[in-house]
């Protein structure tokens, strides 16, 4: 009797368990953080000049938790004033915990950057776009260079307090603008290093010991040698007789998909010894919208020691501005540092994996030229603020727009 009851209980428990199966989670889903982002509001940074220089061209943003200040890099090529970064103070109104908002955002200071020779940068000698704060109280700043003038890109380190030049990271030769066999190579003009972020090290109690940290940089668009092959001639050109008709093909071959748009992501390790480039990964941009005049990766932001990031992609063209926020992970991504070109069949390369977190066009607000991405102070409920900053291009018809979000799900 006891054995029979035990058998019945076992059968019943099996039936209950089979009827209450746990939700299935894919291996790829487990790679990503369970993030959510809520829009809290927008503000505008005044353009009032400070210390005799205009406030504009804000292309990158980083938050300093110690001082509760932000640092914003201007992409001024030393034309409207010296190459520089601004110190910003953000004040939040959290009286209503459900809907925090920006009460004020002010420029407190402007710090000119000094070239390696200790002098201000001459006009058109750099194009600063990205900024990252290191644990040794320095800023890393990325310049995309000016390819059409032969000015090389750089990722340099500067003293936070004085703007003094400190050091330079090694950049692979494939990123430098040049001509090889009558073909351009390296970064495209105005499409070089745009995105920069830094992963702070873990805590180490040893006095005077600085744990290594990791820095990540990405170009806005493909290198010249990574651009897809020249597309076939248009049917109108063929019909006009300007170009000979190609051999007939089957109907299936006429259906084409957009070629991947490959961007290179550099991964540096920086410590007491000389910094080293330890890996490079493929980041694939979303297909460009129809009629896009510009399309690229504006910024990246590291979220965790495990290699979780946010990325900001932006397009502008005949259909207006499109801005999308993604989460991406570098886990298991192929090291592409040995690939001289990323074009054609990329089937053998595992790019970073990404997924859409927010399409900013669904916010139903006017979007300016959004470029900078940064975490900010935590809110009273423990959630994280996220800020996105626009570059006004020193234009009277554009503004220094700042968008505030609540980010949940960080580890």
- Give the 3-state secondary structure of 104-138: EEEEEEEEECECCCCCECCCCCCCEEEEEECCCCE
Per-residue pLDDT 10s for the chain (411 aa) are: 555 555 445 444 554 444 555 566 677 788 999 999 999 999 999 999 999 999 999 999 999 999 999 999 999 999 999 999 999 999 999 999 889 999 999 999 999 999 999 999 999 999 999 999 999 999 999 999 999 999 999 999 999 999 999 999 999 999 999 998 889 999 999 999 999 999 976 545 455 556 899 999 999 999 999 998 765 444 334 344 444 444 444 334 444 567 889 999 999 999 988 999 999 999 999 999 988 999 999 999 999 999 999 999 999 998 889 999 999 999 999 999 999 999 878 889 999 999 999 999 999 999 999 999 999 999 999 999 999 999 999 999 999 999 999 999 986
For residue 168, tell me if it sits in a domain. yes
Which residue from 6, 32, 16, 4 is spatially nearest to 326, judged by alpha carbons? 32
3-state SS, residue 403? strand
Neighbours of 279 (CB within 10 A): 17
Q: 286 in a domain, yes or no?
A: yes
Q: Is residue 241 part of a domain?
A: no
Q: What's the CA gap between 91 and 69, in Å, rounded?
A: 10
In a domain, 361, yes or no: yes
Write down the pLDDT at residue 259.
Answer: 82
Look-up of token digits 């054995």 = 3
DSSP secondary structure of 198-267: EEPPPP--STT----EEEEEEESS--GGGSPPPPPPPHHHHHTTSSPPPPP--GGGG---PPPEEEEEEE
Say which CATH number the domain at 143 has: 2.120.10
141 close to 130: Cβ distance less than 8 angstroms: yes
Nearest residue to 116 (alpha-carbon basis) of 168, 186, 190, 179 = 168
410 burial class (0-12, 13-18, 19+ CB within 10 angstroms)? middle
Residues ≥6 apart with Cβ < 8 Å to 270: 134, 169, 212, 213, 214, 215
In a domain, 173, yes or no: yes
Could you tell me if 134 and 126 are in contact, meaning their C-beta atoms sit under 8 angstroms apart? Answer: no
pLDDT score at 24: 62
Q: What is the pTM of this model?
A: 0.87
Which domain covers residue 296, as residue numbers? 38-203+210-227+258-339+348-408
Token pair recorded at residue 368: 């300016």
3 state SS of 31: helix
49 occurs within a structural domain: yes
Which phi and psi angles does 238 have, rounded to 5°? -70, -45
CA-based end-to-end distance of the chain? 53
Domain presence at residue 334: yes
Report the alpha-carbon distance of residue 165 to residue 209 in Å, rounded.
23
Q: How far apart, in whole angstroms, are the C-alpha atoms of residue 280 and residue 182?
A: 26
Quote the tokens at residue 200. Answer: 């702070």
Beta carbons within 8 Å of 218's beta carbon, 6+ residues apart: 193, 194, 195, 196, 263, 264, 265, 266, 283, 297, 300
**Which residues touch 180 (CB under 8 Å, ≥6 apart)?**
none
pLDDT value at residue 272: 84
Please count the structural domains in the chain: 1
CA 16 to chain centre: 48
Give domain status of residue 32, yes or no: no
pLDDT of res. 340: 92
Cα–chain-centroid distance for residue 269? 18
| Residues 288/295, Cβ–Cβ less than 8 Å | yes
Residue 11: the pLDDT is 46
Give the largest CA-CA distance in the chain: 95
Residue 73 in tokens: 């890099």
Report whether 330 contacts 352 (CB < 8 A): yes
């Amino acid at each position: 009797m006891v054995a029979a009851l035990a058998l019945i209980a076992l059968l019943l428990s099996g039936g209950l368990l089979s009827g209450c199966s746990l939700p299935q989670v894919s291996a790829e889903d487990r790679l990503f953080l369970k993030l959510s982002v809520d829009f809290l509001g927008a503000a505008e940074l005044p353009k009032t000049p400070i210390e005799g220089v205009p406030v504009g061209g804000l292309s990158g943003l980083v938050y300093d938790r110690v001082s509760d200040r932000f640092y914003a890099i201007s992409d001024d090529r030393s034309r409207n004033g010296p190459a520089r970064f601004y110190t910003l103070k953000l004040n939040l109104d959290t009286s209503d915990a459900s809907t925090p908002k920006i009460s004020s955002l002010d420029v407190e200071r402007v710090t000119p950057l000094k070239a390696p020779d200790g002098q201000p940068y001459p006009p058109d000698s750099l194009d600063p776009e990205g900024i990252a704060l290191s644990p040794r109280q320095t800023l890393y700043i990325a310049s995309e260079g000016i390819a059409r003038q032969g000015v090389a890109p750089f990722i340099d380190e500067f003293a936070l307090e004085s703007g003094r030049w400190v050091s330079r990271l090694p950049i692979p030769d494939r990123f430098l603008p040049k001509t090889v066999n009558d073909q351009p190579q390296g970064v495209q003009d105005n499409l070089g290093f745009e995105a920069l972020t830094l992963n702070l090290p873990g805590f180490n109690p040893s006095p005077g010991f600085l744990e290594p940290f990791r820095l990540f940089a990405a170009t806005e668009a493909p290198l010249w040698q990574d651009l897809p092959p020249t597309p076939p001639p248009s049917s109108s050109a063929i019909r006009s007789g300007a170009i000979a008709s190609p051999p007939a093909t089957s109907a299936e071959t006429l259906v084409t998909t957009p070629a991947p748009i490959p961007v290179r992501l550099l991964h540096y390790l920086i410590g007491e010894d000389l910094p080293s480039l330890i890996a490079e990964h493929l980041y694939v941009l979303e297909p460009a919208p129809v009629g896009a005049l510009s399309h690229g990766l504006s910024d990246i932001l590291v979220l965790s020691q495990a290699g979780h990031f946010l990325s900001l992609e932006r397009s502008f063209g005949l259909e207006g501005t499109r801005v999308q926020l993604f989460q991406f992970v570098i886990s298991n991504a192929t090291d592409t540092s040995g690939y001289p070109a990323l074009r054609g069949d990329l089937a053998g390369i595992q790019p970073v994996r990404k997924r859409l977190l927010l399409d900013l066009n669904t916010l139903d607000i006017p979007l300016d030229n959004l470029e900078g991405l940064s975490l900010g102070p935590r809110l009273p409920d423990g959630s994280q603020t996220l800020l996105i900053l626009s570059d006004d291009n020193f234009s009277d018809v554009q503004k220094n727009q700042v968008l505030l979000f609540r980010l949940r799900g960080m580890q």
